[in-house]
Structures are given as C-alpha cells and as structure tokens.
C-alpha cells in the first residue's frame, strides 16, 4: 500500500511538470492571438514544438506506465492512464510537426481572412489535415479515425452517441428555423465606437463577477478564453462596427469559459480533477451565459439603460424594441460567429460532416470549398459568395482542432438542462438578473459544476446536477418558449 502511494506521488509530480509545460504553451498561444508580430510565427512554431514535445515525452515515458500500474484505480489514475496511452501512441516527431505546422497555419489563416482569399491558406491546411490523419491513425489503433479525435474533447463517449445527437438536433432545428425565420429587424443605430463597446463590455464583466485580479480582457480578431493557470485566465473579445449587441453576447460566452476555469479547484491543479476535460461541459457554461443569460429579457431590462448611455448618441428610448428584436432574430445566415441560438447547431453539423470526410480521406482540401458550398445550400438555403462566408470563417482547423465542433451542440443541450434545473430550484433568478444581481446564478453554477473540475464528462455531470440523462428535450422546450411564441 505504501509503495502504491509512493508511485502515485511520483505520477502526480510528473503530471504537474507536464501541466507547467502546457501552461507555458498556452501563454504563448494567447500572446500569438493578441500581440505577436506575424513575422514571429516561425520562431513561435519552434517554441511550441519544443514545449509540446517535452510534454509528450513526460506523459509517454514507460516509467510512468510502470508507476501507474502500481497505483490503485480511481478517477485520477484512470484519466492518467488514458493520457499515458494516447501520448505513447503518438511519436514525438509527429507532435512537433503538428505544433510547427499548426502555428504557421494559424498565421496563414489570419492572412487569408484579411485578404478574403483562401488560396494562401489551402496548402497549409492540407499539411494540417495530412498530419491529423496520421495522428488519428496512431490514436485509433485500428479503430475509427474521427472517433479517436472526438475522444480528445469528450473522453469516454462514443462517436455514435455524439454524432447521433448532433445530427438529430440539427434536423429538428432546421425545421424550426425554416418556420421561424423572418425578415431582418430594424437596423440598429451606429456604428458604435470601439472604445464605447469595450467600456460597456468591461462594465458587464465586472457586474457579472469577473475579477481583474484573476483575469484580463483584451480585444482580438476572435473571441477566446485561455486558462494559463490558477488565478490567470485570459479573455479576448471581438468588437464589431456593425452590431453593438454582438460583442456583449460574445463576451458573455467567453465569461462562461472564464468562470469554469477560474472556479476549478486550485489545490487540484495539474491533476484531472483540476481541469474540465469535457469541452462540451465547458461549452455548456459559455452557451449558458451567452444565450440563457445574455439573450433573456431580464438581462436586457438591466443592461438597456447602461447600454443606451454607453452607445449615445446613436441609441435613444425608441431603440429598445429594435434591440430586443435584434437579439431574438432567427436567421439562417452563413456566418457561424453571428448565428442565433436556433441556427447555431446547423453550423455545427455542417462542419462535423466535412471534417469527418477530411479526416477519413473521402474529401481533400482542394475540394473543400465546393463541398462547403453544397452543404450551405442545404442547411442555409444559400451559397457563400466568397471564401470568408464559407470555409475560411473558422480558425479551428488551422489549429488542428478536428473533433471540437460537436462540443458546441452537446454544450447547448447541457446548458438548457442546467437552466431548467436552476429555474426550478431558484424561481426568483430572473427577477434577480433584472435587478443586476448575478451572484446567485453564478454561485449555483459554481457549486454544481465549476468546483467539480474534471469530475466526469458532460453526460455524467448533467445526470448529477439535473437528475436526468442528457437529451435535446430541455433545449427544444427552451427554444419553443422563447422563439415559437414570437411567431404565433
């Protein structure tokens, strides 16, 4: 027994060393997204390859496997064994190649977006896809390539379960979106100066409970939340010249991620319990803050007077109704970043199908724009006019994040079940939000979800919190109540 305890201590120390390397890599990724000159990409690629190669070696060390074999089985040991197995299957050469290629691909993607021309990115994406196919073959060990990549983001859940839910939800939503879609609401006044947008976003963050001692908010070309380590979670928000509400909703989305990481148990940092390994669970918190909080009447009852003052002179008393209609506009638009909560999962299924085809080899990068256009015609009733409206709009694939998109849909389903349970257990929560009191909502989420860290995947945590299995029922009830009533 004593020997097993000694081995466990060795494993924990080794994994903490790995976590420190990964947290340094994360900090470099944040710097790359917010401030690194593009000319620094090649050197950054070398840095990332070195860090991730070292982290891989720590996890794949055969000595670690011997220590783990001597440990008594529990939650942490089970997760560590999974990590050791996956690391052992992927050679360091491939880890380093992926790190270098994805760093350069992210910069190529950013340049292609700026130019609205995917030609400068295609060759880089093809390299990423080739390496991800090689990685998935190593991880799958004779099994399904795509399932091996899905497992990175939702551990211990089958591809059939994940893909089945995404497909079923998407077809239900296509029917609703087609019925609920309507003409564009009155155009919002503006444009609002970026300084005024950022000022309002900062005020919202503080009101909801964001702590500047434990995080920071920066602007970027896309929204993100990056957990560097305990007490250090970085948020970026994307501002807009055209839509004053979008930055607020995107900030709330990233704050959901911030609360999840900041609320994880600090004394477990570097262990599976100290990190939410379920990306679907992470997305459930982002979608909760963005949609169940940010698109609610209660939230805008509180925010409107402050928004009107911050956005002056563009907004006046007559703008309130237009703003509410804008927030609840159902529109099958082509841009995922601007999608409403009814149509967002249509974007997910489109990407899930295409990335599965890319990883399997049934689709090549050269054929991706045409395949994307055909899929857009089916799900959205129109085709992209250019690369930016189509296959170039997301940065996930440039970063090698194949298998991530389904977590958005699972997160939406979980968020709805959490929201339904919260309202049942705390009936006054909407009145509290309308008064600007978010403390009880945040406290409920922290106690039920955030402080549990990595204890279980999204299916297990939903069952524990709500007493029910994860299904689409609560999500569809929520959408019917919020949007169906507007069309009756």
Sheet containing 215-219, strands listed edge to edge, beginning at the edge strand earlier in sequence? 215-219, 232-237, 224-229
Beta bridge partners of 219: 237
Residue 428, phi then psi, degrees to nearest 5: -90, 5
Beta bridge partners of 215: 233
Residue 241, phi then psi, degrees to nearest 5: -85, -15
Residue with tokens 């997301």: 394
| Both tokens assigned to 69 | 């074999």
Ramachandran bin of 278, using left for φ above 0, alpha for ψ from -120 to 50, beta for the remaining angles: beta
| Both tokens assigned to 6 | 């000694």
Q: How many residues are listed for the chain in this entry?
A: 488
Chain centre to alpha carbon of residue 373: 24
Q: Count of H helices and E strands in the chain?
A: 20, 3
Handedness of CA 386, 397, 128, 151 (dihedral sign): negative
| Both tokens assigned to 210 | 């964001």
Q: Which of 334, 288, 342 has the alpha carbon at shortest distance from 172? A: 342
Handedness of CA 33, 34, 36, 37 (dihedral sign): positive
Cα(338)–Cα(178) distance, integer angstroms = 17
* Rounded alpha-carbon distances, angstroms, from residue 172 to 6, 165, 374: 53, 11, 20
Q: How many CB atoms lie within 10 A of CB 297?
A: 14
Residue pair 256/384 in contact by the 8 Å Cβ criterion: no
Q: Examine the residue annotation and report whether 254 is marked as an active-site residue of this protein.
A: yes
Please identify which of the residues 96, 107, 135, 254 carries the catalytic annotation: 254
SS3 354: helix
SS3 225: strand
Q: Please give the positions annotated as active site.
A: 254
């Amino acid at each position: 027994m004593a020997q097993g305890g000694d081995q466990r201590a060795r494993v924990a120390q080794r994994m903490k060393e790995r976590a420190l390397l990964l947290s340094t890599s994360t900090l470099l990724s944040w710097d790359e997204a917010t401030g690194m000159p593009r000319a620094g990409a090649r050197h950054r690629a070398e840095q990332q390859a070195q860090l991730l190669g070292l982290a891989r070696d720590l996890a794949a060390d055969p000595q670690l496997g011997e220590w783990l074999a001597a440990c008594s089985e529990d939650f942490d040991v089970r997760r560590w064994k999974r990590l050791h197995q996956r690391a052992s299957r992927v050679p360091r050469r491939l880890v380093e190649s992926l790190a270098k290629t994805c760093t350069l691909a992210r910069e190529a993607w950013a340049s292609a977006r700026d130019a609205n021309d995917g030609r400068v990115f295609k060759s880089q994406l093809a390299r990423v896809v080739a390496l991800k196919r090689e990685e998935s073959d190593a991880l799958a060990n004779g099994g399904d390539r795509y399932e091996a990549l899905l497992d990175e983001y939702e551990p211990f859940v089958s591809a059939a379960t994940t893909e089945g839910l995404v497909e079923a939800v998407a077809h239900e939503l296509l029917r609703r979106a087609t019925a609920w879609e309507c003409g564009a609401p009155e155009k919002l006044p503006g444009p609002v100066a970026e300084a005024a947008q950022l000022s309002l976003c900062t005020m919202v963050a503080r009101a909801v409970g964001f702590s500047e001692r434990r995080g920071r908010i920066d602007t970027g070309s896309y929204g993100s939340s990056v957990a560097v380590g305990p007490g250090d979670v970085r948020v970026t928000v994307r501002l807009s010249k055209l839509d004053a509400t979008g930055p607020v909703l995107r900030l709330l989305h990233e704050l959901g991620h911030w609360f999840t990481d900041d609320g994880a148990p600090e004394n477990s940092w570097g262990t599976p319990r100290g990190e939410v390994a379920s990306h679907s669970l992470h997305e459930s918190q982002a979608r909760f803050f963005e949609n169940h909080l940010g698109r609610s009447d209660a939230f805008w009852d509180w925010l409107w007077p402050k928004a009107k003052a911050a956005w002056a002179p563009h907004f006046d008393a007559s703008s309130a109704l237009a703003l509410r209609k804008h927030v609840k506009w159902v529109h099958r638009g082509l841009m995922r970043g601007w999608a409403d909560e009814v149509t967002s999962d249509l974007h997910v299924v489109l990407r899930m199908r295409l990335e599965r085809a890319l990883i399997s080899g049934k689709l090549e990068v050269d054929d991706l724009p045409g395949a994307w256009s055909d899929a857009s015609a089916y799900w959205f009733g129109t085709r992209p006019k250019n690369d930016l409206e189509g296959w170039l709009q997301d940065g996930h694939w440039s970063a090698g994040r194949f298998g991530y998109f389904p977590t958005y849909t699972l997160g939406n389903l979980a968020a709805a079940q959490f929201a339904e349970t919260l309202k049942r257990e705390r009936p006054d929560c909407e009145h509290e939000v309308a008064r600007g009191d978010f403390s009880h909502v945040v406290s409920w989420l922290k106690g039920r979800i955030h402080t549990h860290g990595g204890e279980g995947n999204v299916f297990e945590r939903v069952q524990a919190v709500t007493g029910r299995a994860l299904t689409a029922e609560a999500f569809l009830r929520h959408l019917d109540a919020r949007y169906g009533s507007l069309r009756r």
